[in-house]
Amino acid sequence: MIEQTEKQIFTEFLVKKNLRDTPQRELILNEFLRREQHISAEELYDIVKQRDRTIGQATVYRGLKLLCEAGLAREVDFGDGTMRYEHEFGHEHHDHLVCTTCGKMVEVLDPAIETLQKALAEKYGFSLSNHEMYLYGICSECRGK
Amino acid sequence: MIEQTEKQIFTEFLVKKNLRDTPQRELILNEFLRREQHISAEELYDIVKQRDRTIGQATVYRGLKLLCEAGLAREVDFGDGTMRYEHEFGHEHHDHLVCTTCGKMVEVLDPAIETLQKALAEKYGFSLSNHEMYLYGICSECRGK
DNA sequence: AACGTTGTGATATTGAATTTCATTAATAAT
DNA sequence: ATTATTAATGAAATTCAATATCACAACGTT
């Protein structure tokens, strides 16, 4: 069961960092794992509030940060002023192809591009640690109209 | 003289849009053109204030928006919560290679990557209109330490 | 000069994200 | 177990970039 593994990772992370396993953190983790879409801290806050009326928004922000540190979540910035979070575990690195008309988002990966990126960085003496690539265009459906 | 050309572009843009040529807009344009680095609205505001003590910050924000619309500036988002602006005119499209240690930034362009990006988008039925690519790594100087 | 339009600057507002801090809960020590 | 220690929480305040509001000023036209 994958979720089991992710919870294990989180628990191990907390232990290693000398952080505590709290009901709030469990709840944040569970609700985050339960959905596959990109989600903002505020959206997740609304969701967890339904299960724990007293949870604070700061706790959700803090919790999502922890998930990132634990390698379970990753920040995604679509440039609309709100940071979103996506699953990291079980999802290989990928880039994003976004339709500027309907907002549809496709996760893409091109090994050839990845290789060239590394080579490009090295050409300038950089050792590449990570990258972000967002491709913006119009999807076939939107173009059909 | 390049600046002349850029001012001409701006003037033509204002005429075409039925907007007025004001001293504030001239000042914002001039001070923006005068520096080559990426600059934030707030930074530019501090600069133009030295020449016009009464200029408002909103005017600078609005002015930079106009420069973007006129094709003279482009927004760059390094993900630190502040939007920066770079020259667009006379600067072909390029991507960014950023050192995560010292913050050094290099403008890069790889035609092979550009081609593959287009192909990748088309593979998913998207017609690519633009893209953003940020490569993060450590430069040779920082690695030497 | 009078009018309508656009621009400006001061201020207020927004909205995401973070900080503060008193209180509460989890862990460790006894 | 009880207590002491430490970390986490929640409410509220704060930060900061960016935007909106609005009275007033500058301009252009007739």
Q: Protein footprint on strand D: which nucleotides are under 7 Å from a CB?
A: 7-12, 16-21, 27-28
Quick one: average pLDDT of B20-38? 93
Cα B59 from Cα B49, distance rounded (Å): 11
pLDDT recorded at residue B1: 52
pLDDT over 70 (residue A78):
yes
Which nucleotide's C1' is closest to B58 (Cα)?
A: C9
Dmax (CA) of chain B? 55
- Extract the tokens encoding A113: 């591009």
pLDDT over 70 (residue A2):
no
* B83 contacts B90 by C-beta, under 8 angstroms: no
pLDDT recorded at residue A79: 82
Quick one: average pLDDT of A17-39? 93
Outline where DSSP puts E strands in A17-80.
39-40, 73-77
Q: From the CA of B71, how many Å to the nearest CA of chain A?
A: 19
Which nucleotide's C1' is closest to A56 (Cα)?
A: D10
**Pairs across A and B, CB distance < 8 A:** 103
C1 C1' – B12 CA distance, angstroms? Answer: 31
Global pTM reads 0.81
Per residue in A100-143, pLDDT (tens digit) is: 888 888 999 999 999 999 999 999 999 999 999 999 999 999 98
Contact, B87 CB vs strand C, < 7 Å: no
